Structure 1
Amino acid sequence: MSKVFFFNIPFHGHVNPSLGLVRELVKNGEEVIYYCNESFRGKIESTGAVFRGYSDKFYLDENYVTYNLTDLFQVHLELSALILDELIEDVKKDKPAYIIHDTMCPWGKHLSKITNIPAVNTFTTLALEPDGFFLTAGFALALAFTIVKNIPNMTKIRKTKKLIESKYNIKVSSLLDIVLNKEELNLVYTSKEFQPKSEKLIKRYRFVGPSSMYRIENMPELKLNRNTDRPLIFISMGTIFNNNIEFFNICTKAFENMDIDVLMSVGKSIDIPSLSIPDNFTVKYYFEVPQLEILKECNIFMTHGGMNSTQEGLFFGVPLIIIPQQQEQAHVAMQVVRSGSGICLKKSKITSELLKNTVDKIMSDRSYRENALRMRDSFIKAGGPGKAVKEILLYVGRKKIINTSI
């Protein structure tokens, strides 16, 4: 049995995919010490892992939202500088055999370099590569423009980068290295079929399939206001982009007279009694909805296009209507459209008529369902948490042999 440090950021979209992997590691006899925020303790401990909270210096929490890449670079690099000393002390005390970190945890990669402990990187979204899907000339131009507009942030980033490099004698390769944190082994929670240009990435990447559906939700049964003979539409904008009351009103108007049932998940700031709710609707707060159970019986899933929700829908063979709220979700939506398993709509163009027509189109065309089932098959074939653990143990074992022979 080996001891492993697992580092993550406190967001459902990053924690949920890791839970199946962690549970499988524990099942294989590994002792996992999982670093995150207190609000995720219950989820993490349910896997059999040991929860360990970051220090008081770690100020990131699930309420943090930014659309500015330089903000993201600055915050994550600063967090690494703030907590590295304490993590080094933890390594001395616990002596982990290896490290697993989310791609948004530069402190995991930095700690690996400082202590010479092998590390594995995990991608909770599509893999990013210079010759891959995201990092196109347009992306590079947009990034350059953002940098020019945010000189104060860039000054802070350069200062923190130099501090880390000089204090710990390591190299922070580039800005993107702060949020990519690639290692010799990178696990991607999707299939080769869903990942764009996967054939160019197979040397250092292993596509192990989505993992968030292997979590245990531990939620009470949700009774829906529905006629079981009618199709069920599930509307959920995730845990961050779910407080747009105008959008929810458009949904109720679109579907109130259709021969369907609708479950709509809303955010904490929505006053549900203030909504005009048609008879064929059930409206609940997102934390009341057991999403995995609902997806087993729904016919169409309307989502913001977060990687977890998207793949969970496809895992159950459910066609998707995606309304992206930011760039990463737009890229995920493009893959859904490419696979023929759903339709992407621009949030600025949403009307009740458009939503109604889109639902009608998917309901009348079986190819959306057939293609969703095809993506499901690719996810299952990828292997899931079992495959991920095999890749990790093989890699760590190989590194151990190399280090022993030196």
Structure 2
Amino acid sequence: MKTAFFSMLPAWGHLNPTIKLAQCLQKLGYRCVFASTPEFREVIIKNGFELVLSQSKPFGLGLEDMQYENTSSPYLESLLDRFQDLSYNERKKDYEKWLNKYQPDLILVDSFYSTDFILIESLIRQSVIKLVFVQTMLSPYNDGFTPPLNTFILPDNANKVKIAWQKMKIKRALSQSFDLIRFLGLSNSLLIKRKFKQNHILKKYAIIDDKVFHVGFQSIEEWVLAPQEIEFLGKPKNTNQHYLGLMTDTQKQILPDNLQNFVNNAKSQNKKIIYASLGTLHNVHTKGKSAHFFEKLCSIFEKDNNCYLILSVGKELKNNLKTASKHIKILETVPQRGLLKEVNVFITHGGLNSVLESAYAGVPMLLVPLNNKWDQNGNTARVVYHGLGIKAKLKDSKKAIENTINELLNNPIYQQKTQIFSEVLYEKYSNESFLEDFFSTELLVQ
């Protein structure tokens, strides 16, 4: 039996779309092993995969700071780590152990863990093991056409796109200069270049700095866990990138009785249903400001008898957010895929999984990006570009939010475009034949 070994960032937004990929590989006869943390044990084991607990972190990505943040001297610990290659050596030992134990035929590395490539390549250089990057976001590369993924910019203004990339480069250069001083010459960038050289990595795998988020490497195959249809039309093709399609789960999801009854009650009265969720980490991304946004939504719909509102707010906010309205339901979490089939508008932060689930369900979106650190603004730009939704801000007034929701509810163009987009996704990706076609090529051969 062949073995596929996954090394993914321990976050739901990265693990969830990877599950479908692993399921497909499993059907093709692969044993799937995930290096992850204990909180993901249940979902990994439940799907018939194996779990190996991982404590080490990739080097050169700034994770050293996080690793030592709870120690008595985090800066000194991080500095010592860099000078003694502690993270690098620990990570390399883990890969040596994993390769020896599982002898994988295929290694799939989260693109956010890109520097793992440097030590893996040196370990598998003489083998036939295939290594690919798994991209859980849309394309982050500067191809001369696509704006940076963390910006709300459309590609119709080439000069604006160019300036955005220039700003990103300047900001990155300043950050690297600060790190050089702070870490006595051993910045993340220098660590990566040093290990690249020490491991005698071939020049064809040259480091790519011209991308959003972490560094990349040339000539490494990258599997994007999304349909190419959501990208901007006219995006230049990267020969190393392969879009695997809709990687959200398309299996039917049952709503709990209390939620289903709420939905049925709304529909029996011909009421519109609005669903809002800002992701599992909304409090972290907004530093608590999302609570005020949810309060504004409650205030709007307490007076609007024509709509029912469902909020998914997490455990902490569920205990603090109150309403007397029978038209509003506040929950800790909901079966989102099942609920989206019942609603008229989805209010979301613009995470890629949520965007694709909504697009597949044919539901117009009100997108509220929480910050510009990750890909929420870029996903939002693509949704707006395709006419699937409207962008808003957390700080928008109640009146502005209400007007935007009414526009989505009453302007038929949004429903028409989301329905057409949904039909395209459903026809192409509703079964797993698209993945079988993908893997029937030589893409699984080194």
TM range (shorter): 0.7 to 0.9
Say whether the 8 Å CA contact 2:132–2:221 is kept in structure 1.
yes
Select the residue among 174, 177, 188 that pairs with 1:157.
188
Q: Structure 1 CA distance, aligned partners of 2:262 and 2:278? A: 20
- In the other structure, the counterpart of 2:34 is 34
- In the other structure, the counterpart of 1:141 is 167
Deviation at 1:260, TM superposition (A): 0.9
Say whether the 8 Å CA contact 1:317–1:369 is kept in structure 2.
yes
Q: Structure 2 CA distance, aligned partners of 1:78 and 1:390? A: 43
Q: Structure 1 CA distance, aligned partners of 2:18 and 2:378? A: 21
Structure 2 unaligned spans of 5+: 68-78, 149-160, 181-185
SS of residue in 1 equivalent to 2:298: helix
Q: Does 1:395 align with 2:442?
A: yes
Name the aligned partner's letter for residue 84 of structure 1.
K
Q: Structure 1 CA distance, aligned partners of 2:384 and 2:303? A: 28
Range with bigger deviation, 167-176 or 374-383: 167-176
* CA gap 1:41/1:390 in 2 versus in 1, 3 angstroms: farther
Say whether the 8 Å CA contact 1:126–1:190 is kept in structure 2.
yes
Q: Structure 2 CA distance, aligned partners of 1:81 and 1:222? A: 52
Q: Does 1:320 align with 2:365?
A: yes
Q: Structure 1 CA distance, aligned partners of 2:172 and 2:86? A: 19
Q: Does 1:267 align with 2:314?
A: yes
Q: Does 1:109 align with 2:109?
A: no
Deviation at 1:6, TM superposition (A): 1.0
* CA gap 1:345/1:28 in 2 versus in 1, 3 angstroms: same
Deviation at 1:362, TM superposition (A): 1.2
Q: Does 1:83 align with 2:100?
A: no
Superposition pairs of residues 5-404 of structure 1, within 5 angstroms: 5-55=5-55, 82-114=90-122, 115-116=124-125, 117-131=129-143, 132-135=145-148, 136-137=161-162, 138-149=164-175, 151-154=177-180, 155-170=186-201, 173-175=207-209, 178-180=214-216, 184-197=220-233, 199-201=235-237, 203-214=239-250, 223=259, 225-226=262-263, 227-229=265-267, 230-242=271-283, 243=288, 244-258=290-304, 259-270=306-317, 272-285=319-332, 288-327=333-372, 328-348=375-395, 350-383=396-429, 386-388=433-435, 390-392=437-439, 394-399=441-446
Deviation at 1:214, TM superposition (A): 4.2
Q: Structure 2 CA distance, aligned partners of 1:382 and 1:51? A: 32
Structure exhibiting the larger radius of gyration computed from Cα positions: 2
Q: Structure 2 CA distance, aligned partners of 1:152 and 1:113? A: 30
Deviation at 1:89, TM superposition (A): 2.6
Deviation at 1:363, TM superposition (A): 1.2
Structure 1 unaligned spans of 5+: 65-73, 400-406
Say whether the 8 Å CA contact 1:98–1:118 is kept in structure 2.
yes
* CA gap 1:169/1:150 in 2 versus in 1, 3 angstroms: closer
* CA gap 1:182/1:369 in 2 versus in 1, 3 angstroms: farther
TM-score (norm. length: structure 1)? 0.84
- In the other structure, the counterpart of 1:402 is none
Identical positions, percent:
20
Q: Structure 2 CA distance, aligned partners of 1:376 and 1:300? A: 14
Q: Structure 1 CA distance, aligned partners of 2:258 and 2:244? A: 31
Deviation at 1:396, TM superposition (A): 4.5
Range with bigger deviation, 217-226 or 99-108: 217-226
Name the aligned partner's letter for residue 188 of structure 2.
I
* CA gap 1:282/1:234 in 2 versus in 1, 3 angstroms: same
Deviation at 1:172, TM superposition (A): 6.3
Say whether the 8 Å CA contact 2:208–2:217 is kept in structure 1.
no
Say whether the 8 Å CA contact 2:318–2:331 is kept in structure 1.
no
Q: May I ask how many residue pairs the two structures share in their alignment? A: 385
SS of residue in 1 equivalent to 2:165: helix
* CA gap 1:164/1:289 in 2 versus in 1, 3 angstroms: same
Q: Structure 1 CA distance, aligned partners of 2:324 and 2:282? A: 20
- In the other structure, the counterpart of 2:153 is none
Deviation at 1:88, TM superposition (A): 2.1
Aligned Cα root-mean-square deviation (Å) = 3.2
